[in-house]
Amino acid sequence: MKINSMKDLLINELRDLYGAEKQILKALPKMIKAATNAQLRSGFEKHLKETENQVTRLEQAFEKLGVSAKKKTCEGIKGIAEECEELISADPEAEILDAGLIEAAQKVEHYEMAGYGSVRTWARQLNLREVADLLQQTLEEEKATDKKLTELAESMVNQMAAAHT
């Protein structure tokens, strides 16, 4: 698409995030299967449900903008997901893999936080309040997920991984 205005830039990035969420919907089940720690697994399961809602919110945002809900391949998330699959294929000890899965998940969250933060701010700048509110809701979920992952790593998972020498 041609990008001639800030609204075009917003739509272009929303399509990237729409692609990203759909790619995450495919990656998370693999991460759930690979995770050993029960809290990590249930955290991923919860985030899978949240991601379904995030897809719906983006569809609502496209509707409010009067454009079709088209997705782009998100090369950023594609790369992170490939690296995660590589880690799983390397078949480390379960506790070590859990620590690596948290890192991969946090890379995903940080990508999304950067994207949603910017599009939320652009939507506000363009006085698209309802679109901005939808994006803010998702941004808060991504931040909360990132925080939970840090807590899980620091309270438990990293110590268990470090026990393997």
Which residue has 């995770």 as its token pair?
35
CB of 89 to Fe ion, least distance (A): 24
- 18 vs 122, beta carbon nearer Fe ion: 18
Binding-residue pattern over the window 55 to 84 for Fe ion, x denoting contact by CB under 5 A:
------------------------------
- Which residue matches tokens 């830039």? 9
Q: At closest approach, how far in Å is the CB of 4 from Fe ion? A: 28
Position 37 contacts Fe ion (CB under 5 A): no
Relative orientation angle of helices 94-125 and 129-152, to the nearest 10 degrees? 160
For position 106 contacting Fe ion by CB under 5 A, the verdict is: no
Between residues 23 and 54, which has the closer beta carbon with respect to Fe ion? 54
Asked if residues 61 and 115 have their Cβ atoms less than 8 Å apart, the reply is: no
The region of 1-9, 30-38, 49-57, 73-81 touching Fe ion under the rule CB under 5 A is: 49-57
CA distances from 86 to 9, 30, 82, 121, 163 (A): 33, 12, 6, 35, 23
Whole-angstrom distance, CA of residue 152 vs CA of residue 78: 25
Size, binding site for Fe ion by CB under 5 A:
2
Compose the 110-129 pattern: x for residues touching Fe ion by CB under 5 A, - for all others. Answer: --x-----------------
Q: Closer CB to Fe ion, residue 95 or residue 112? A: 112
Residue 110: other Cβ atoms inside 10 A? 14
The rounded distance, in Å, linking the Cα atoms of 81 and 72 is 16
76 DSSP assignment: H
Residue 56 per-residue DSSP state: H
Q: Which residue, 96 or 132, has its beta carbon nearer to Fe ion?
A: 132
Q: Which of 23, 54, 106, 145 binds Fe ion (CB under 5 A)?
A: 54
Nearer to Fe ion, 98 or 142 (CB): 142
- Give residues in contact with Fe ion (CB under 5 A): 54, 112
